[in-house]
Amino acid sequence: MIGHLTCKPGSSQANKTGSWRTETKPKFLQKNCIACRMCIYTCPEGIISGEGKNTFKCDYAYCKGCGNCAAICPKKDIEMISEMEEGDQK
């Protein structure tokens, strides 16, 4: 009897860690962004995407609200806002 030997690649995506957020979440203002990509580098979840200036956003389904993207942004173009704002994207 053999089964359950492996996990499928990338299957962790079934686990929506966005529910971990308690207080704040990042808001990508998309105003002064210079597309330096530091927010992408610093996200422990790997859920920030974007190409050109002012196109970056994150996937709230997984965002744990750590705030590193906002802290690293050299243009202060990412703001940590209350969980309840912006129509509750949770």
Partner 1 sequence: MTQTLFKPGHTACAGCGQAVGARLVIDTAGKNTMIANNTGCLEVFSTKYPESAWCVPWIHSLFENCSAVASGIEAGLKYLGKKDAINVIAQAGDGGTADIGLQAISGMFERGHDVLYVCYDNEAYMNTGIQRSGLTPTLTNTTTSPSGAGSLGNPRPKKPMPEIAAAHGIPYVATASVGYPQDVQKKVKKALSIKGPKYIQMHVPCPLGWRHESNMTFDVAKLAVETGLYPLFEYEYGKLIPRKIAKIKPVEEYLKVQGRFKHLLKNPDAVKQVQAIADYNIQKYGLNAEA
Partner 2 sequence: MKQFVEGSHAIAEIVKRCRPGVVSAYPITPQTHIVEGLAQMVADKELNAQFVNVESEHSAASVVLGAQATGVRTYTATSSQGLLLMAEVVFNIAGLRLPVVMTTANRAVSAPINIWNDQQDVMTVRDSGWVLLFAETIQEAVDLHLQAYRIGEDPRVMLPVMVNMDGFILTHGMEVVDMPSQEEVDKFVTPYSTTYKLDVDNPLTMGYLADPDYYIEIRYMVQQTHQELLTIIPEVAAQFKRQFKRGEGNGLIEGYHLEDAEQVFVAMGSVCGTIRDSVDEFRSKGKKAGLLKIASYRPFPKNEIVKALSRAREVAVVDKSISLGGFGPLYTDLSAAVSSMGAKAPKVSGFVIGLGGRDITLQSIQEVYECLSGKQVDCEFIGLKKELLAEAK
- Under DSSP, is residue 13 helix (H, G, I), strand (E, B) or coil? helix
Please give the residues from 17 up to 76 whose contact with partner 1 meets the rule CB under 8 A: 17, 20, 38, 40-49, 59, 62, 64-68, 70-72
| C-beta closer to partner 2: residue 6 or 22 | 6
Residue 29 sits at the vertex; the CA angle it makes with 18 and 82, to the nearest 5 degrees, is 45
Q: Which of partner 2, partner 1, none does residue 68 bind (CB under 5 to 8 Å by kind)?
A: partner 1
Q: How many other CB atoms are there within 10 angstroms of residue 6's CB atom?
A: 6
CB of 10 to partner 2, least distance (A): 9
The entry of partner 2, partner 1, none that residue 52 binds, CB within 5 to 8 Å by partner kind? none
- Tell me the HSE value of 88 on the side-chain side, using a 13 A CA sphere: 3
Q: Which helix (H) or strand (E) holds 66?
A: none
Q: How far is the CB of 21 from partner 1 (least distance, A)?
A: 8
In the complex, which residues of this chain contact partner 2 (CB under 8 A)?
A: 1-9
